[in-house]
Amino acid sequence: MKVFFSIIVAAGLGYFLGSINFSIIVVRMMTGRDIRDMGSKNAGLTNTLRCAGKPSALLTLIGDLLKGVVAVFLARGFCHLLHAGMLPGNDTHYIGYIAGLFAIIGHVFPIYYGFKGGKGVLVGAASFLAVDYKVFLALLAIFVVILAISKYVSLASIISTAYCPLATLLMSWIVDGYSFGRSCLYMLLSLPMAAMVIFMHRSNIQRLIDGNENKFTFNTIDIGRE
């Protein structure tokens, strides 16, 4: 019962915190416009940088990272207080994946903004920073390498996200020394998070296939669509 209650609370915390879209808030404060009516119409970091400039993008980056981290830490703290660990030692690691998944869902389908949000890359990254920083660093390295080679933000996001479940399994099993069964559990919990982010990039995948996806440069006029 405690585990079930912790999962419900983690899902609620993740969703309602994830629904706070800092791209929409910051751009509206800075320009008086709705980012969802600008550029690619996506309420995410890349579109914010391209359409509203670096100060707005920086504030969006900080806000969207923080909400993922806060969601995971609050959920784990609550789960720990209830002694609702599913595994020996009152392990609350699992609850971070639940909070992270629902933070992504909240970002993509925010209740405060008519269920029209961003694509969840930043929130997903922030969630993994809080859940397992080693997985986050591994995925960040993959992202940087793919971006440097291809110059496509979307491609780097998709490929690094696709590696997320495998990185979770290997880090838990080989680096952290957890049992293979527990590591598989963490991998399975990370799968919906990765799937959600990749699904939200389906339009980018089509543009990559068609050859008309914009490449990344440090010039905000020519930066890949998020």
Q: What are the tens digits of pLDDT across the range 131-164? A: 999 999 999 999 999 999 998 989 999 999 999 9
Backbone angles phi, psi at 166, to 5 degrees: -65, -45
Q: What is the pLDDT of residues 19-67, one digit of tens each?
A: 999 999 999 999 999 998 998 788 888 889 889 999 999 999 999 889 9
pTM of the predicted model as reported, rounded to 2 decimal places? 0.86
What's the pLDDT score for residue 71? 94
Is the predicted pLDDT of residue 220 greater than 60, yes or no?
A: no
**How far apart (Å, rounded) are the C-alpha atoms in residues 30 and 2?**
44
Q: CA dist 162 to 12, 155, 195, Å?
A: 26, 10, 8
**Looking up tokens 């982010």, which residue turns up?**
197
**How far apart (Å, rounded) are the C-alpha atoms in residues 88 and 90?**
6
